A and B are shown apart, each in its own frame.
Chain A
Amino acid sequence: MRSLRTYAILYLIFLYAPIALLPIFAFNDATIIAFPLSGFTTQWFTELPQIPALIDSVKNSLYIAVITAILSTILGICAARAAAKYTFRFKRPIMGFIMVPLVLPEIIVAVSLLVILLQLGLSLGAWTVIMGHVLICTPFCIAILNSAFQNLDPAMEEAAIDLGETPWSTFRLVTLPLVSPAIISALLISFTISLDEFIIAFFLTGTEPTLPVYLWSQLRFPARIPVVMALGTILVAGSILLLILAEMMRRRGLRRAGLQDKGGFL
């Protein structure tokens, strides 16, 4: 029991110490990333908005992340709804194969997409990155939305139809409101995944880099590293915030539907 606790603590340190270093050096008054710290500064944060290429990459990344989140959540809703409501031939293998990108190495997805896109003669850009991101984000959305749709009492939809609603208005008035917390949670998680994703973006981005790709290119210039640290701090803070928001939404949804929390995605 005691050794298990020590192990857990060591594990958490290993997991989070590098991330904890990020804000420490982001506020350190030196261009060399090393201890001892020399002093406190917010200089790196004020320098951030003065780099046009960086601003462009942030805009590009946000654009890709928003569209990816919307597309993969819509696809996720369709798949989760179909899985919960209908029985059809080869349902299990189909659902299984849809979920595979969850464990597929991203490098494989990235390389194969690149080959196909080049074969088709399509030019690389934001939309090709979106394509790749939707592919890896959709399984996450399905995983989140599936439990929400499975938990939905089928009598809810029948009750609305019984009271004179059409299938579509039932979906709008009853189904969507009841699964909306899961939808918001799916949007936030796919947004976060897309925003942070590097490998697919690196292969498919063309001439307009996304933020992670831009950051990687800046590592060659030691003077830029503290700025990268500052940006990383903002990204980590933002990601944590979004994930907390997503989990809060999921729990609120369970409470509202009067269900027991059976352990969620996080």
Chain B
Amino acid sequence: MTALIDLKNVNKYYGDYHALRGINLEIAQGEFFSLLGPSGCGKTTLLRTIAGFEDPSDGTLHIAGTDMKGVPANARPTNMVFQSYAIFPHLTVAENVGFGLRKSSLSKSEKMKSVEDALEMVGLKGFGGRAAHALSGGQRQRVALARALILKPKVLLLDEPLSALDKKLREQMQSELRRLQRQVGITFILVTHDQEEALIMSDRVAVMFEGEIAQLADPQTLYKRPLSRKVGDFIGVMNFLPATVKNATAIELDVAGLGLVTIAPDQAPSTAKTGTAEVGIRPEMMSILFDGEPDRGTIAEGTIKDRAYYGDMTYYDVHLKNVVQPITISMKNIIGRPVLDIGDTARVSWDARSLVLFSD
């Protein structure tokens, strides 16, 4: 099956500034795809290139098999939800939602039906007659969604659509967007700087830094097996420890504070070679052993340097023997488990499967 969206070697320059560097990307029909990265990484430029608001300096873009070169934004099978929502303040909600139908051949009653259906889909049934400028942030977001989906585009482009909402509303809209995407079956491309949002919502995520795609993977792979220290650091929390690769084929390492370990090939880059390197480990992939709890493989000794109590979780900064940098370990506060104090000794249990080797 051919990809719905196919970018080949796309570059974008603004004068001397290289905003997109050789982007190669295929996105399938019906996928919920996210472009994730810090501000200025080129994710919005890439989205606007797909929408037709920016022309690539070179490279090709195909949507549904058609070359988009010279095809203006108003003729592309894409619709967009803007970061500011761009709801037309001089029109009513219904006029906003029905804006894209102005040139369609539908009869007036068919258009009205279509607008009502779209409003119902986003949970704004009966809001059609309201003035657009009187809506709340969450309602504007829904109107923007209905307005973009009414034309049944092949691709819906969402430019940081949830960044203006407060936390509660954002979480609610996240699950609603996923539900909506499954319901309409349209390919969604979401631009976000929020790694949690990207993990929660997407089928696949492209992490971008400085105009390049650093890693393209499903959320679990991205979290468990980041390809570079930079990706691991950007997504969630990760501890980094210096290590020496003793044997590159059997992948035997000497990790500071943890000792000799052998890891599986999927935990290391294929380019791994002997010499100094770095390993990454997530806070929840290590645990502090309390009395009577079974260990998970190997034990390392340490002392608690700092702790942050989150209610359901406690984050400890632990000094391992012979390691300068403290490592962060998260523990669930389950029944009977005490919260340790600063200065307490801790027995840290860990497993070779929880390590990721970086060669960069």
Q: Say which residue of A155, A163, A165, A178 sits within 8 Å of B84 (CB atoms).
A: A155
Query: Contacts A158-B86, A159-B86, A257-B89 known; A165 to B102 CB distance under 8 Å?
Result: yes
Q: Which of B72, B79, B82, B148 contacts A155 (CB 8 A)?
A: B82
Q: How far is the CB of A179 from chain B (nearest CB, A)?
A: 10
* Complex contacts, B89 vs chain A, CB 8 Å: 178, 256-258
List CB contacts (< 8 Å) of B97-119 with chain A: 99-100, 102-103
Question: How far, in Å, is B188 (CB) from chain A's closest CB?
Answer: 15
Residues of A within 8 Å of B53, CB to CB, are: 158
What would 30 A/B residue contacts be, using CB atoms closer than 8 Å? A155-B85, A156-B88, A158-B73, A158-B80, A158-B82, A158-B86, A159-B80, A159-B82, A159-B86, A159-B88, A159-B147, A160-B99, A161-B73, A162-B73, A162-B74, A162-B78, A162-B80, A162-B148, A163-B79, A163-B100, A164-B75, A164-B102, A164-B151, A165-B102, A165-B103, A166-B74, A174-B88, A177-B90, A178-B88, A178-B89
Q: Is A153 an interface residue (CB 8 A)?
A: yes
- Nearest-CB distance from A169 to chain B (Å)? 8
**CB-CB < 8 A to B29: which residues of A?**
none
**B104, closest chain A residue (CB):** A164
> Smallest Cβ distance from B68 to chain A, in angstroms?
14
The interface residues of chain B lying within 8 Å CB-to-CB of A156 are: 86, 88
Contact with B along A164-197 (1 / 0, CB 8 A): 1110000001100110000000000000000000
Q: How far is the CA of A177 from the CA of B133 in the complex (A)?
A: 14
Nearest to B88 among chain A residues (CB) is A174
| Measured CA separation A164–B53 after assembly (Å) | 13
Main secondary structure of the interface of A (DSSP, over half): helix
- Contacts of A159 on B, CB cut-off 8 Å? 80, 82, 86, 88, 147
Cα distance A22–B84 in the bound complex, in angstroms:
52
Question: How far in angstroms is the closest Cβ of chain B from A153?
Answer: 5
Q: Is B83 an interface position by the 8 A CB rule?
A: yes
In the assembled complex, the Cα of A104 lies from the Cα of B344 at a distance in Å of: 80
State the CA gap A162–B85 with chains docked (Å): 13
Could you tell me the distance between the alpha carbons of A178 and B86 in the complex, rounded to whole angstroms? 12
Chain A: number of interface residues, binned into ranges: 10 to 19
**Residue among A162, A166, A177, A256 with max Cβ neighbours from chain B (10 Å):** A162
Q: How many B residues are at the interface, by size bracket?
A: 20 to 34
Residues of chain A touching chain B, judged by Cβ–Cβ distance below 8 Å, are 153, 155-156, 158-166, 173-174, 177-178, 256-258
Question: Would B103 and A256 count as touching, CB distance under 8 A?
Answer: no
* Neighbouring B residues of A158 by C-beta, 8 Å: 53, 73, 80, 82, 86
Contact of A178 with B83 at beta-carbon distance under 8 Å, contacts A160-B99, A164-B100 already known:
no
Separation of A158 and B89 alpha carbons in the complex (Å) = 15
Q: Does B51 count as interface, using CB distance less than 8 angstroms? A: yes
Complex Cα–Cα for A163 and B118 (A): 15
Which residues of chain B are within 8 angstroms of A163 by Cβ–Cβ distance? 74, 79, 99-100, 147-148, 151
Top-8 shortest CB links A-B: A163-B100, A155-B86, A159-B86, A155-B82, A177-B90, A162-B80, A161-B74, A164-B74
Smallest beta-carbon distance A91→chain B, Å: 16
Chain B min CB distance to A244 (Å): 23
Shortest distance in angstroms between B100's beta carbon and chain A's nearest beta carbon? 4
Contact in complex: A178, B51 (CB < 8 Å): no
Instruction: Tell me the B221-245 residues at the A interface (CB within 8 Å).
Output: none
| Residue contact A155 to B83, C-beta cutoff 8 Å | yes
* A255 smallest CB distance to B (angstroms): 8
Which A-chain residue is minimally distant from B134 (CB atoms)? A258
In the bound complex, residues from chain A placing their C-beta under 8 Å from that of B51 are 162
Q: Across the interface, which residues of B come within 8 angstroms of A258, CB to CB?
A: 89, 133
Question: Considering the chains assembled together, what is the distance between the CA atoms of A32 and B86 in angstroms?
Answer: 63
Which residues of the partner chain B approach A257 to less than 8 Å between Cβ atoms?
89, 133
Q: Which of B79, B86, B148, B151 contacts A153 (CB 8 A)?
A: B86
CA distance A189 to B74 in the complex (A): 37
Across the interface, name the chain A residue whose C-beta is closest to B51: A162
* List of B residues within 8 angstroms of A256 by Cβ: 89-90, 133
Q: Which chain B residues border A178 with CB–CB below 8 Å?
A: 88-90
User: Contact mask B13-31 → A, CB, 8 Å, 1/0?
Assistant: 0000000000000000000
* Distance, CA A156 to CA B132, complexed state (A): 13
**Cα of A256 to Cα of B90 in the assembled complex, Å:** 7
With both beta carbons as reference points, the residue of chain B lying nearest to A153 in the complex is identified as B84
Contact with A along B244-274 (1 / 0, CB 8 A): 0000000000000000000000000000000
Taking CB atoms, residues of chain A closer than 8 Å to B133 are 256-258
A182 → chain B closest CB, angstroms:
13
Contacts of A166 in B (CB 8 A): 74
B358 to chain A, nearest CB (A): 39
